[in-house]
Structure 1
């Protein structure tokens, strides 16, 4: 009977080989070498390097399968090698690719419908992993595929060493689900490197090869059989419970980032750059980050937020830019484990800007020569009519400072003077300036209205920090760089060098800042710096953005959920982080002498002059002030009106007025109002409403006019005493036209 069995098997095999010999030989000749397989192996992870080549982050690129780095056989625990051979191929070291004894036993078992061990050796399984045509699909392999697999296995045995076959198999074999290779399985399932697997873990891993999708009880049962074959039945005790815990890890670790043994310093930037890795088919990408700066910024954010845990604050972000190149030196997108939304990138998220937009507003006013740093603004209560009602801005501390200079107003972040300045600049012109600096605001300037002066628009930390970098570069703008693949920055002039120099000088003025913040605060460092804080409505966002000669640092803290913080301002929330990071970047400057020298070497633009300035009634102490040439002042008299250019304050541009047909027309009026003009007049739709030079109220302002509205689109112009138009707006009146005409006829 035994002789008949082998004769039958030999006959079947011989006939089949003759039929497929040419096909199999061609495939065998195309099988790669061990070195080629090793070289072609691609991990599912990508590596983000810093500017010096240091790995700062690992991230998953291939979402279809999980493969970690190739591991050498000597770095794999002997326990898993022993379990693999005991379970899959007991005569691995004796056969030459095909275990003919196992083939005969399997064929005999199939003939008599008896259950026997499979005949596929480790080498044959490797052949199936290397050749796409031989990989097992949902259906069983054809006879030709099986015979080809045999020939490829024999070719591998002649060309490769046994240790190379084992090494390649352990790196290429799929275990369960998306896990490919012993490295990925060990990290996910056992939370350790393959070199550390013990006998029980090794048996559990090998048990998955036969039934990858089996339940944990089935896997435990098979693992126990492997242990018994190895003479270790005692390890079967409580094996089901252990296997259950292993399977729980498989379910919990849904992201490869959690099982990587590499650095996890820059998850958000790594994700941001992932497409560059994929599109270029690269395994690693050198970024512009500096690993030391990234680590320090991350630690500084964690320290500060941990200290504010009782203030209902858990999120934050830090961005560090090199002024000259635009290179991102640190990109910290979240507070990590302190946050319930750590996957949200705080560098790119849109949040209300608060007072951080004020420097760009004042820069525009200085550039247009409507104001100087010495000009006086009125910090007192103001009610501005708008299309949606009265706009009544408030200062952060709810107090008014009276008359203050532009220098004091900006450095101390006073709100009312900023709003008055925007009345001069106009929301639309300010909006256009912000767009030119890369803010990409979603709405037009008139949508935000006067609240744009106080940062009602949503901006990202990335855009805001780079805009401040433009101030640091005296008005030259360029995009930021995050990787070596990004083009070199091309500087484009966007702001006035003279105006930005003066703004920077104001933002670095510790004395001017003291009105609101005092002399001792987190906005001062040992070397020269210019800095601004901001807090959005209801304390939902804290900002601190500032720059030195070499670096610009932006910090945001708040809650990704939008929940308000409790009694946290920009100075107490974001500023300490900014101060720590900036001190780290400028740590080479350590004494006051070098600081003073640093300030003196700052380049003053040719069209900026320094001039002594004094004020009536010693409103502010005499000082030397910077001016754009042609705007110099020596003494400022205190006038009753501030120095904002004349403008129409009501109605507002684009206002839509609806008339009520139930109110008599002689009772309906629109009051035209202005500010900043003492003598002049009004022109409506080309017709004068008053005589220029003769209309003046007792307060010194141009008298208001109550105009009976008439339906239609109207052009209202404000003219000075010489009849020159100094401001104009368009508005529209709708409704009640028939009723007005009817009532008008009756009155006649």
Structure 2
């Protein structure tokens, strides 16, 4: 009986101990299929329309990360990683028994867990399955649980898949997680383009990313790369000649690990992305790419041309005074689709001296005479009781207009002269001020502002807040909105809504988001749109105000209008061809006045050079004249039939 009781007690003790050990090891042991729980959150890649990178949005608390398949990772990088981290990777069952025994012995000798011995598979288990709290425990329990998980992973996944998980999740320093992010961060290229020397450098970083960071200690990084190459030779991955050649190769690191192109545009994209796609989708989806409408070549042309013009204005020939102008903005878009091809918010986003971070493409400023085409378009509306046309005679004489305040408003032309009777064609083409105010007085503020809203301008609201000075720019508008409004003249009268995102896709190329394109409302009679275009493209109609062959004339059919505000605070040029509309603003973001800079001398040359540059080599297009127009000869003074 005593023997039976002893055996029973022994069994119970053994069972309890076994159960305790089992619970100690296996309680809350993660399921190996649950890899996504602790994966590094993906960064979001923003590109131009041709998939060239503009910026990468980094998630909070981590860094740059983009998942790539094992087929995109060079074999040199795979072998360098295996040689360095786990030489028996392709043959071991997910754990290195010799390494574990050695680690346990060292740990016991030290009285605490002081040594590793982890295989690549164990590191995958630790980083992707264990919680952050347990992951950094220095205990035998964590090591054993990690080993069990590694063995299970080996039973379920191929070696290539395990290595793919490892290479996509490890910390490579400089806020780069995964080999694609590391390749972009250090060499500004895709991981698939790395050579042996570059692969060895990256493979050596994971052991101590901070210590071997080539930006902070290039000498340590180089020595570590040489160690990796030696290990590759030792394990038969490369021969001695390959090692020597790779070690001798001069590594060229990118000077901008986290570049940003067109910062103002990128911020608009990010804002629209946040509004279009739920945050949880952005956080959980791997490899998101936002393809935008921007053409990076066009954007760089805009930057170069604007800087060159500002340099010329501020460094005039000897004997002339500097014009004190430090900022410029440009918007180029398709007048049919509204796709924005280029958007320059300032010549240098990072220059605080010129308030470069202020986006002058979206900041409301006074447009000067650039609003005049909208006023004449309202006056030409054939549905009005007394519609005007390009042959309507307007008196350009001193005129006092009544205002809300009772104080007469007496506009003055830019050249301070009066030109007597002029036709609407010449008045608009030469940007005469008195006829423009007469036209607005004829149309009425309510109708003018209503038309501007239909054309997409949101900053002109209550007509009671304005007076007839609106004809000369007495109301603030955004460059991007006024440029889009001019698009209606180019496309036959349809509203243009600027579009900046083409599509959003995940790592598999599946579409997450495409902006909805609603039918465009028609806001202008196509005949009116053509008449405004015909005037703005008539070089002879501009002769009085700008002379012949000014900066507004291109080597192809193009319509354009300038604007200059009082005291030279702002100047504009907006113009278009049938397939491109470009708006340019020049001034100071601080609103400090320029010195003697008008739309034709400030913004005009930027517009002219940009249009010629981006349209070079493209087929010339003419503005198509719509039906319903009659061309007759009229008196050049009265506008009446002979």
Q: Is this a same-fold pair by TM over 0.5? A: yes
**1:603 and 2:602 equivalent?**
no
Query: 2:262 and 2:329 mapped to 1: Cα distance?
Result: 19
Displacement of 1:137 after TM fit?
5.2
446-455 vs 73-82, which moves further: 73-82
Q: 2:342 aligned to 324, 330, 334, which one?
A: 330
**Which residue pairs with 2:641 in the alignment?**
634
Displacement of 1:536 after TM fit?
2.4
Q: 1:347 aligned to 355, 361, 374, which one?
A: 361
Call closer, same or farther: CA 1:96–1:443 in 2, change over 3 Å.
same
Query: 1:442 and 1:329 mapped to 2: Cα distance?
Result: 26
Call closer, same or farther: CA 1:208–1:295 in 2, change over 3 Å.
closer
**Which residue pairs with 1:48 in the alignment?**
47
Query: 2:343 and 2:57 mapped to 1: Cα distance?
Result: 19
8 Å Cα contact 2:413-2:433 kept in structure 1? yes
Displacement of 1:223 after TM fit?
11
Which deviations, in whole Å up to 9, do the C-alpha atoms of 1:373-418 show, x marking residues without a partner? Answer: 3222224364755528554433323333344232222111112222
Call closer, same or farther: CA 1:510–1:102 in 2, change over 3 Å.
same
Call closer, same or farther: CA 1:420–1:588 in 2, change over 3 Å.
same
**1:308 and 2:313 equivalent?**
yes
**SS class of match (2:337):** coil
**1:512 and 2:569 equivalent?**
no
State how 1:495-534 maps to structure 2 within 5 Å.
Answer: 495-534=524-563
**SS class of match (1:57):** strand
**Which residue pairs with 2:127 in the alignment?**
129
**Which residue pairs with 1:734 in the alignment?**
none
Which deviations, in whole Å up to 9, do the C-alpha atoms of 1:315-340 show, x marking residues without a partner? Answer: 33332333333333333444347954
**Which residue pairs with 1:655 in the alignment?**
none
8 Å Cα contact 1:46-1:277 kept in structure 2? no
8 Å Cα contact 1:358-1:410 kept in structure 2? yes
8 Å Cα contact 2:77-2:200 kept in structure 1? no
350-359 vs 321-330, which moves further: 321-330
**SS class of match (1:351):** coil
State how 1:728-739 maps to structure 2 within 5 Å.
Answer: none
Query: 2:80 and 2:228 mapped to 1: Cα distance?
Result: 13
Query: 2:73 and 2:263 mapped to 1: Cα distance?
Result: 24
**1:401 and 2:419 equivalent?**
yes
Any stretches of 5+ residues in structure 2 without a counterpart? 1-14, 232-252, 316-322, 503-513
**1:448 and 2:466 equivalent?**
yes
TM-score, with normalisation over the residues of structure 2?
Answer: 0.72
Query: 1:409 and 1:544 mapped to 2: Cα distance?
Result: 17
**SS class of match (2:626):** coil
Displacement of 1:360 after TM fit?
1.1
440-449 vs 122-131, which moves further: 440-449
**Which residue pairs with 2:77 in the alignment?**
76
Bigger Cα Rg: 1
Displacement of 1:155 after TM fit?
2.7
Displacement of 1:469 after TM fit?
1.4
**Which residue pairs with 1:550 in the alignment?**
579
Q: 1:318 aligned to 312, 327, 330, which one?
A: 330
**Which residue pairs with 1:461 in the alignment?**
479
Displacement of 1:513 after TM fit?
0.6
**Which residue pairs with 1:722 in the alignment?**
none
State how 1:618-697 maps to structure 2 within 5 Å.
Answer: 620=637, 633-634=640-641
- CA RMSD in angstroms, aligned pairs only: 4.7
Call closer, same or farther: CA 1:75–1:91 in 2, change over 3 Å.
closer
Displacement of 1:453 after TM fit?
0.9
**SS class of match (2:501):** coil
Which deviations, in whole Å up to 9, do the C-alpha atoms of 1:515-567 show, x marking residues without a partner? Answer: 01000211112332221111223323222112223332222233333333333
**SS class of match (1:553):** strand
**1:565 and 2:618 equivalent?**
no
**SS class of match (1:512):** coil
**SS class of match (2:497):** coil
Query: 2:374 and 2:224 mapped to 1: Cα distance?
Result: 74
**Which residue pairs with 2:567 in the alignment?**
538
**Which residue pairs with 1:362 in the alignment?**
376
8 Å Cα contact 1:418-1:453 kept in structure 2? yes
Call closer, same or farther: CA 1:140–1:390 in 2, change over 3 Å.
farther
**Which residue pairs with 1:653 in the alignment?**
none
Query: 1:363 and 1:49 mapped to 2: Cα distance?
Result: 35
Query: 1:555 and 1:293 mapped to 2: Cα distance?
Result: 14
Call closer, same or farther: CA 1:603–1:416 in 2, change over 3 Å.
same
**Which residue pairs with 1:57 in the alignment?**
54
**SS class of match (1:609):** coil
**Which residue pairs with 2:634 in the alignment?**
613
TM-score, with normalisation over the residues of structure 1?
Answer: 0.63
Query: 2:526 and 2:595 mapped to 1: Cα distance?
Result: 39
Call closer, same or farther: CA 1:297–1:190 in 2, change over 3 Å.
closer
Query: 2:422 and 2:220 mapped to 1: Cα distance?
Result: 83
Query: 1:437 and 1:392 mapped to 2: Cα distance?
Result: 29
Query: 2:299 and 2:591 mapped to 1: Cα distance?
Result: 26
Any stretches of 5+ residues in structure 1 without a counterpart? 1-10, 233-248, 626-632, 636-748
Query: 1:328 and 1:25 mapped to 2: Cα distance?
Result: 52
Query: 2:93 and 2:28 mapped to 1: Cα distance?
Result: 17
Which deviations, in whole Å up to 9, do the C-alpha atoms of 1:354-376 show, x marking residues without a partner? Answer: 11111111222232326443222
Call closer, same or farther: CA 1:47–1:610 in 2, change over 3 Å.
same
Query: 1:72 and 1:377 mapped to 2: Cα distance?
Result: 74
Query: 1:275 and 1:229 mapped to 2: Cα distance?
Result: 42
Query: 1:231 and 1:347 mapped to 2: Cα distance?
Result: 55
8 Å Cα contact 1:448-1:456 kept in structure 2? yes
Equivalences, count: 565
**Which residue pairs with 1:650 in the alignment?**
none
Q: 1:154 aligned to 151, 154, 157, which one?
A: 151
Query: 2:259 and 2:16 mapped to 1: Cα distance?
Result: 51
Which deviations, in whole Å up to 9, do the C-alpha atoms of 1:608-650 show, x marking residues without a partner? Answer: 43333226xxxx4x8xx7xxxxxxx326xxxxxxxxxxxxxxx
**Which residue pairs with 1:481 in the alignment?**
499
Query: 1:524 and 1:220 mapped to 2: Cα distance?
Result: 57
Query: 1:562 and 1:263 mapped to 2: Cα distance?
Result: 23
Displacement of 1:221 after TM fit?
10
More strand by share: 1
Call closer, same or farther: CA 1:205–1:134 in 2, change over 3 Å.
closer
**Which residue pairs with 1:271 in the alignment?**
270
Call closer, same or farther: CA 1:185–1:547 in 2, change over 3 Å.
closer
Query: 1:225 and 1:67 mapped to 2: Cα distance?
Result: 23
